[in-house]
A and B are shown apart, each in its own frame.
Chain A
Amino acid sequence: MAVEFDVLDHVSIGMFIAAVSTVLATYFSLSLIANHLYHYTQPNLQRPIVRILLMVPIYAINSFLSLVFSRWSLYLDLLRDCYEAYVVYNFFNLLLAFINADHDSDTRDIELSSFDDPSESRAPVPSPSSSSSSSSGLDEQRVIQILEAKPPMSHPCPMCCLPKFKPGAAFLRLSKRCIFQFILVKPLMVRR
């Protein structure tokens, strides 16, 4: 009896739990991705969303593989950390796409309500001349225009001693660089 319990020790129970949760997590997120791809109505928003959702199967399968083949865990972890940086970058892209989508629906609302009351919380944004030609795709010009319309802002709480920053094209460029450097640095700095 004691021998049998020893065979089914903590490690194999752990492996079993890990396998079950990996399979379930992969199933849930792959079905969610499949649903997104089936209702692929807004590619600009859904492309980064699907890439972010792919994080779950990649993380789960990766971790399970490196649990089973612990010799290769170093290389598998390297892959996982690279994808983590890619997810952060895609989340930023998703924010940009959201701003564009918000602007699209704003202009549509304004057109429908015949300019009677543009929302006062948002600064009225002049419609770019090229809006008809590039109605799809990420339009950075619009994001820049929305940012330019904002007053200088102070940094959030722990950094509020820093001078105020002015949102605009330079700010967007700086944000992009600061987020993109993570993709470059992360794979180099993986460690145990």
Chain B
Amino acid sequence: MIVMVMVVMAAEAVSNADCICVRQAALAIFLEMRGLYGDGDLSPSKGYIWIVMVDNVSITLAMYFLVLFYAATAPELQRFRPVPKFVCIKTVIFLSFWQGVAIAVLEYFGILRGDITRGWSSAELSVGLQEFLICIEMLFVSIAHSWTFGYHSFRTENS
């Protein structure tokens, strides 16, 4: 799939760099250097839509097989209460994903607006808000972990 994206990118000889300040990583940085990324641009000649698609397919595939494997081995796993554990991990992943989407939507409609005079542009504000929410959520996740991944069942009688 990565190869596919690279082939598509090579085929599309689009070379005008949009001079917008986008922040991306890895493949996105590489594509941006060639002017092929186009953040938020849904055109198939830009990398953005392909990266979003590959990322979504990848995470869906991984999650689907995790669920499938659980479905196949549910009677053996029942004793260990795997569902709360799965929910704990899943919540973090999905929360960080969907709140990113929600913040992007808020930013797009201009509800979330930064104030340059205070040193926070809109983009920085949305990133900062995302990090802030993760910091808060981690407190709740750490409390939830002490229930779901408790150590009491691993204690021996003498310790």
Q: Which residue numbers of A lie inside 8 Å of B, CB to CB?
A: 9, 11, 14, 17-19, 21-22, 24-26, 28-29, 32, 35-36, 38-42, 45-46, 49, 52-53, 55-56, 59-60, 63-64, 66-67, 70, 73-75, 77-78, 84, 87-88, 91-92, 94-95, 98-99, 101-103, 121-122, 143, 146-147, 150, 153, 155-156, 159, 165, 167, 171-172, 174-175, 178-179, 181-182, 185-192
Q: Which of B2, B70, B72 contacts A188 (CB 8 A)?
A: B2
Report, nearest first, the 9 A-B pairs whose CB atoms are least far apart. Answer: A182-B62, A60-B138, A190-B25, A189-B55, A18-B135, A28-B142, A178-B65, A25-B138, A21-B139
Are A67 and B132 closer than 8 Å at their CB atoms? yes
B28-58 interface bits toward A, Cβ cutoff 8 Å, 1 = contact, 0 = none: 1000000000010000000010011011001
Are A95 and B65 closer than 8 Å at their CB atoms? no
Q: Which residue numbers of B lie inside 8 Å of A, CB to CB?
A: 1-2, 22-28, 39, 48, 51-52, 54-55, 58-59, 61-73, 75-77, 79-80, 82, 85-86, 89, 92-93, 96, 118, 120, 124, 127-128, 131-132, 134-136, 138-139, 141-143, 145-146, 149-151, 154-156, 159
CB distance from A184 to the nearest CB of B (A): 9
